[in-house]
Amino acid sequence: MTRIKICGLYRPEDIGCVNEARPDYAGFIINFPPSHRSVTPDWARELRSRLDPGIPPVGVFVDSPVETVAALLNDGTIAAAQLHGHEDGEYIAALRRAAPGRTVWQAFRIRSAADFDAANASDADLVLLDNGYGTGQPFDWSLEGTVTRPFILAGGLTPENIPEAIRKLHPYGLDISSGVETDKKKDLNKILAAVAAARKE
């Protein structure tokens, strides 16, 4: 079964939606002001306290200090850290020292077949393949690249194209945010449809 993460939760109402839909993961974008979905660590803790305990929370970070990420991992606010900036192998190693045994995901912007090589070489526990981090558009799914490890697919996903994405790319999981929103707010019906589509394939 393909896993699905509903990302960009920033309102209590969003938590209510995912508690009803029960995706495999819920995502918070932490300390990234360019996104209207950004939340502070304290607000992430508050939202996490309202989240069903059976849904693992994932924190999304862009070049945040290791100490900030580690603190949220170690206090249980998040179950995994998803890195979307310029974090490299040294950063991941430092994060593992600061938060031993915690799960680390790393996102890669796919522009050419060569970008798959970087994803394959990542020291992260799981990699995420995206178009451009928050663009709401898919990368070119016809790119000839080989991913030799499980990956999460992101970028431009909607309840309508999830079946095609799964059939073409066979991802371990899906990461969806704007595709389950109406007027930049999470839409319960779209979330329910996305979770159903992921679990049908």
Catalogue all structural domains in the chain, each as residue range(s) with its CATH number: 3-200 (3.20.20.70)
What percent of the chain has a predicted confidence (pLDDT) above 90? 85
Torsion of Cα atoms, 148 then 150 then 74 then 20, to 10°: 160
59 vs 113, which has greater pLDDT?
59
pTM: 0.94
pLDDT at 201 over 80: no
Q: Tokens at residue 179, please?
A: 């595709």
pLDDT at residue 146, as a whole number: 83
Average pLDDT, the chain: 94
